């Protein structure tokens, strides 16, 4: 999809100007967080410290940021091992996230979880998961709880194309369809499951086709187009709040970096180049400039503010103490 085609979207009127700027700001925050986290990891590695796995989501920001603009604080989000963007968009604090990346006591999992484990139930952030597809069935439980308590809370579960081939995916969608649960399954199909291309592990073109097997609506969309993601997700959230059940949304997208920090690039150069040209942030920036919602000066200021915020978070995390060794056995159940 080119930026021109992007400009033709009609659904731009659905979102207020203020919300559009907030979405762009969130996309910047996610991108700057990811850039800073890689830099921080490399610096620590150079000093001989290994901080664990780091799965970045640069290139997939349109999906998380749209969710953040629609979702309420009391809605639930289950993320994956590639969950920094989802966590920030759900309201997680960059400082506490950076502290968790560095294994500090002030982090979201008290320094015990690292990059894949940002949890904060007080803002509906139900956490990441090192297990591929690990959140799929947990989301059934959260959605069932909302339905049982008769609230209008909605649950979103993010997962990758690789997770769509697990048994948990089919079990979860079966229950979600059967009980008409207020859950939205968002598959971020970035075309690769670690080093496995999508056509090695998936026999169909659109993962959303699987929704029909569970009597829920399914849609495959351009996951780099904020307006399309927002409109599709908004519709699914309205339905779920009204008690009309689950939706499966497949967002076609691409990660800008290798699977994780310790893996070399394995994807074809031309494929990567083509997707970099469809960077969701550049496309959305151009849209807002064309719509006269943003000028270059404001855009640069917005980005700088976010960059400063992330730099502060890194500084804070670096200064935070590691967990006290006397707490080693705390939170361990045997």
Ligand X SMILES: Cc1ncc(C[n+]2csc(CCOP(=O)(O)OP(=O)(O)O)c2C)c(N)n1
Residues at the contact surface with ligand X, assessed by CB under 6 A: 82, 130-132, 160-163, 190, 192-194, 259
Q: Which is nearer to ligand X, 178 or 204 (CB)?
A: 204
Q: Which is nearer to ligand X, 167 or 243 (CB)?
A: 167
Q: Which is nearer to ligand X, 257 or 303 (CB)?
A: 257
Residue showing the smallest CB distance to ligand X in the complex: 160
Q: Which is nearer to ligand X, 134 or 245 (CB)?
A: 134
Beta strands in the chain (DSSP E): 76-78, 155-160, 183-189, 192-193, 196-197, 218-222, 247-252
Q: Which is nearer to ligand X, 29 or 251 (CB)?
A: 251
The least CB distance from residue 160 to ligand X, in Å, is: 2
* Letter string b/e over residues 293-317, b meaning 16 or more CB atoms within 10 A of that residue's CB: bbeeeebeebbeebbebbeebbebb
The least CB distance from residue 57 to ligand X, in Å, is: 8
The least CB distance from residue 189 to ligand X, in Å, is: 7
Please list, in sequence order, all residues whose beta carbon lies within 8 angstroms of the beta carbon of residue 59, skipping any fewer than 6 positions away. Answer: 190, 224, 253, 254, 255, 256, 257, 275, 276, 279, 280
Q: Which of 24, 125, 21 is nearest to 65 (CA)?
A: 24
The least CB distance from residue 127 to ligand X, in Å, is: 15
Residue 121's Cα: distance from chain center in Å? Answer: 17
The least CB distance from residue 193 to ligand X, in Å, is: 3
Q: Which is nearer to ligand X, 100 or 161 (CB)?
A: 161
The least CB distance from residue 199 to ligand X, in Å, is: 13
Q: Which of 2, 3, 1 is nearest to 288 (CA)?
A: 3
Please list, in sequence order, all residues whose beta carbon lies within 8 angstroms of the beta carbon of residue 70, skipping any fewer than 6 positions away. Answer: 230, 233, 234, 237
């Amino acid at each position: 999809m080119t930026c021109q085609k992007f400009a033709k979207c009609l659904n731009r009127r659905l979102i207020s100007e203020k919300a559009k700027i907030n979405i762009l700001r969130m996309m910047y925050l996610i991108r700057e967080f990811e850039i800073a986290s890689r830099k921080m990891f490399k610096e620590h590695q150079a000093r001989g410290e290994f901080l664990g796995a780091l799965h970045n989501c640069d290139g997939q920001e349109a999906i998380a940021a749209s969710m953040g603009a629609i979702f309420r604080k009391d809605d639930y989000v289950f993320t994956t091992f590639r969950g920094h963007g989802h966590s920030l968009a759900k309201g997680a604090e960059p400082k506490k996230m950076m502290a968790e990346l560095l294994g500090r006591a002030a982090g979201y999992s008290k320094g015990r979880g690292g990059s894949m484990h940002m949890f904060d139930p007080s803002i509906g952030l139900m956490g990441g998961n090192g297990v591929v597809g690990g959140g799929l069935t947990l989301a059934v439980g959260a959605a069932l709880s909302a339905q049982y308590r008769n609230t209008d809370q909605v649950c979103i579960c993010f997962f990758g194309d690789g997770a769509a081939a697990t048994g948990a995916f089919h079990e979860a969608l079966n229950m979600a369809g059967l009980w008409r649960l207020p859950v939205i399954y968002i598959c971020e199909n970035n075309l690769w499951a670690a080093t496995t291309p999508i056509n090695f592990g998936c026999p169909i073109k659109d993962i959303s086709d699987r929704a029909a097997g569970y009597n829920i609506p399914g849609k495959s969309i351009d996951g780099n187009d904020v307006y399309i993601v927002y409109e599709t997700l908004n519709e699914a959230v309205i339905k779920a709040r009204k008690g009309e059940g689950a939706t499966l949304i497949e967002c076609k997208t691409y990660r800008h970096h290798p699977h994780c920090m310790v893996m070399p690039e394995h994807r074809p150069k031309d494929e990567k180049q083509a997707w970099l040209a469809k960077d969701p942030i550049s496309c959305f920036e151009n849209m807002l400039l064309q719509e006269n919602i943003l000028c270059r000066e404001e855009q640069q200021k917005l980005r700088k503010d976010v960059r400063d915020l992330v730099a502060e978070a890194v500084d804070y995390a670096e200064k935070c103490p590691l967990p006290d060794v006397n707490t080693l056995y705390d939170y361990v159940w045997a």
